[in-house]
């Protein structure tokens, strides 16, 4: 069995889905489990819809619901123009999903209150719409396709908007459900992103979570490989939307991919690698618009050479500086500080300490008000906004002569607020002003990947 995950742009419209179906068709002898995202931009629309409902903005709610229904009905008609029966089936699924969403959102609107649980229900609908339409479209092309509701296999904690997978349950349930679904079928389709608690309460895995779904399913069925089909030729030396002249990487290690994703490379959800590593399943990042391309293989470290592979960044982070003379010689101070982060579920990226100071970076999307308030009870706290974090990633980069010189040479004229090197020797990260992020990324890329090493 293999897993084939198609992201939003790879199922954006009739043309993209037709391409995806051709790719799936070429792999039927490997028993593909297809995992799909919502059509491009649909999850954003659903987030807007939940905000509009919470704000009791009925006009906006109606408008968004109408856009959602119209786009999916038009897509079903276009995809299945030659098969009226399956076209009707797909349209009636779309209408049923949109009707039930509309009722649900009306109730939220009436209350003007949106719980995390309700939000999880609303934002899951994009994947239900896309997977139902694509299931019918595959069948319409003669590929016998079964449908699995991801809520029956991807089991998580009750953190409704960022469910933590319960691996034992996923491994216990998935193989049997998948093998039943394959009975008489060429392929099986399910939703990315969507999950549920053991009692069936709806949850989701968080933004970009379809990659994670693919890898969890791969782990549960011992897949031969996991293919992540997206809109770039593979993992590159930097985000091509931010940096010019990036190059595609043939192969990188699990550790390098995990660090890249964790430190901001959107090409993979940060937790995607973990389940694959558990079973040593190779991952491939491939371009659905160029299916002949080799893409990038993500493999065990022993197959990967030392060297710098990529630069990632997080554009908008906060640096929290904690000053206290009590830190000196008082064991337990660090514990107290990090307990406050943990109690408030604020996750920390980089940490550096000096005699009377701790600096940490956190994603700006997190609410740090309570953390700052609690820390201020026993320390002076200064928060620096408008900062960006840059990470240079590669196996054993610590051993590379000239690497540090090449990384830091372009930084001559700009302030560096923090530097941190992970104990794994896979990454060096530092913090700069957000205003210089793009030129600095471009310069470092130039020094590391566009000139001869050591020059």
Q: Angle at Cα 23 formed by Cα 79 and Cα 298, nearest 5°?
A: 135
Least Å from the CB of residue 215 to ligand ADP: 13
For β-strands 357-363 and 202-204, DSSP reports them as unpaired
Classified as helix, coil or strand, 103 is helix
Rg (CA), the chain: 23
Beta bridge partners of 396: none
Under the binding rule (CB under 6 A), the answer on residue 231 touching ligand ADP is yes
Annotated binding site for ATP: 5-8, 230-231, 241, 266-267
Distance (Å, whole) CA 40 – CA 370: 35
Which residue stretch of 54-62, 82-90, 106-114, 237-245 sits at the interface with ligand ADP (rule: CB under 6 A)? 237-245
Which residue stretch of 10-18, 146-154, 201-209, 240-248 sits at the interface with ligand ASP (rule: CB under 6 A)? 201-209
Of 23, 105, 252, 267, which lies in the binding site for ligand ADP, with binding defined by CB under 6 A? 267
Please tell me the number of Cα atoms within 13 Å of 73 on its side-chain side: 13
Site mask for ligand ASP (CB under 6 A), range 158-197, x = bound? ----------------------------------xx----
Under the binding rule (CB under 6 A), the answer on residue 207 touching ligand ASP is yes
Classified as helix, coil or strand, 256 is helix
Under the binding rule (CB under 6 A), the answer on residue 156 touching ligand ASP is no
Under the binding rule (CB under 6 A), the answer on residue 230 touching ligand ASP is no
Annotated binding site: 5-8, 43, 127, 230-231, 241, 266-267
Residue with smaller CB distance to ligand ADP, 170 or 232: 232
Instruction: Work out the number of other CB atoms within 10 angstroms of the CB of residue 250.
Output: 12
Beta carbons within 8 Å of 236's beta carbon, 6+ residues apart: 246, 247, 248, 249, 267, 310
Of 209, 275, 282, 422, which lies in the binding site for ligand ASP, with binding defined by CB under 6 A? 209
Residue with smaller CB distance to ligand ASP, 33 or 340: 33
Under the binding rule (CB under 6 A), the answer on residue 8 touching ligand ASP is yes
Under the binding rule (CB under 5 A), the answer on residue 208 touching Mg ion is yes
Which residue stretch of 66-74, 200-208, 255-263, 329-337 sits at the interface with Mg ion (rule: CB under 5 A)? 200-208
Strands (DSSP E) found in 62-199: 145-147, 187-191, 194-196
Partner in contact with 9, chosen from ligand ADP, Mg ion, ligand ASP, none, beta carbon below 5 to 8 Å by kind: ligand ADP
Q: Which two tokens stand for residue 80?
A: 């299945």
Beta bridge partners of 358: 322, 353
Site mask for ligand ADP (CB under 6 A), range 187-226, x = bound? ---------------------x------------------
- Interface residues for ligand ASP in 113-152 (CB under 6 A)? 126
Q: Which two tokens stand for residue 30?
A: 């490997």
* Residue facing ligand ADP at closest CB distance: 7
For β-strands 427-433 and 357-363, DSSP reports them as unpaired
Under the binding rule (CB under 6 A), the answer on residue 7 touching ligand ASP is yes
Distance (Å, whole) CA 225 – CA 229: 13
Q: Cα 129 from chain centroid? A: 20
Distance (Å, whole) CA 92 – CA 96: 6
Contact residues for ligand ASP, defined by CB under 6 A: 7-8, 37-38, 43, 126, 192-193, 207-210
Contact residues for ligand ADP, defined by CB under 6 A: 7-10, 37, 208, 230-232, 235-236, 238-241, 265-267, 310
């Amino acid at each position: 069995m293999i897993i084939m995950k198609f992201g939003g742009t790879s199922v954006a419209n009739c043309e993209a889905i037709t391409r995806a179906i051709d790719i799936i068709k070429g792999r039927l002898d490997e028993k593909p489990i297809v995992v799909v995202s919502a059509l491009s931009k649909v999850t954003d629309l659903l987030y807007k819809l939940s905000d509009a409902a919470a704000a009791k903005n009925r006009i906006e709610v109606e408008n968004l619901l109408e856009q959602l229904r119209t786009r999916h009905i038009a897509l079903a008609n276009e995809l299945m123009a030659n098969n009226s029966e399956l076209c009707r089936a797909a349209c009636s699924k779309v209408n049923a999903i949109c009707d039930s969403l509309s009722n649900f959102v009306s109730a939220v609107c009436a209350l003007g209150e949106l719980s995390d649980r309700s939000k999880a229900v609303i934002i899951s609908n994009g994947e239900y719409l896309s997977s139902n339409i694509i299931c019918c479209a595959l069948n319409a092309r003669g590929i016998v396709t079964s449908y699995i509701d991801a809520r029956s296999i991807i089991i998580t904690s009750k953190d409704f908007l960022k469910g933590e997978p319960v691996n034992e349950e996923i491994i216990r349930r998935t193989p049997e459900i998948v093998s039943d679904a394959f009975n008489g079928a060429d392929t099986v389709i399910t939703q990315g992103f969507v999950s549920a608690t053991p009692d069936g309460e709806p949850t989701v895995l968080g933004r970009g979570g379809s990659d994670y779904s693919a890898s969890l399913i791969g782990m549960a069925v011992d897949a031969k490989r996991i293919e992540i089909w997206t809109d770039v030729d593979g993992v590159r030396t930097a985000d091509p939307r931010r940096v010019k002249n990036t190059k595609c990487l043939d192969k990188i290690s699990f550790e390098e991919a995990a660090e890249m994703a964790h430190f901001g490379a959107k090409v993979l959800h940060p937790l995607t690698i973990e389940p694959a590593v558990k079973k040593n399943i190779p991952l491939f990042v491939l371009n659905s618009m160029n299916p002949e391309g080799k893409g990038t293989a993500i493999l065990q470290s022993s197959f990967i050479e030392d060297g710098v592979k990529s630069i990632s960044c997080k554009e908008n982070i906060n640096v929290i500086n904690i000053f206290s003379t009590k830190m000196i010689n008082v064991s337990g101070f660090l514990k107290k500080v990090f307990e406050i982060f943990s109690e408030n579920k604020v996750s920390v990226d980089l940490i550096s300490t000096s005699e009377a100071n701790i600096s940490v970076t956190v994603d700006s999307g997190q609410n740090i008000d309570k953390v700052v308030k609690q820390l201020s009870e026993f320390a002076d706290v200064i928060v620096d906004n408008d900062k960006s974090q840059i990470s240079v990633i590669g196996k054993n980069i610590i051993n590379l002569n000239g690497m540090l010189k090449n990384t830091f040479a372009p930084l001559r004229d700009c302030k560096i607020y923090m530097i941190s090197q992970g104990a794994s020797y896979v990454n060096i990260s530092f913090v700069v002003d957000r205003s210089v992020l793009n030129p600095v990324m471009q310069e470092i890329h130039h020094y590391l990947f566009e000139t001869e090493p050591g020059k």
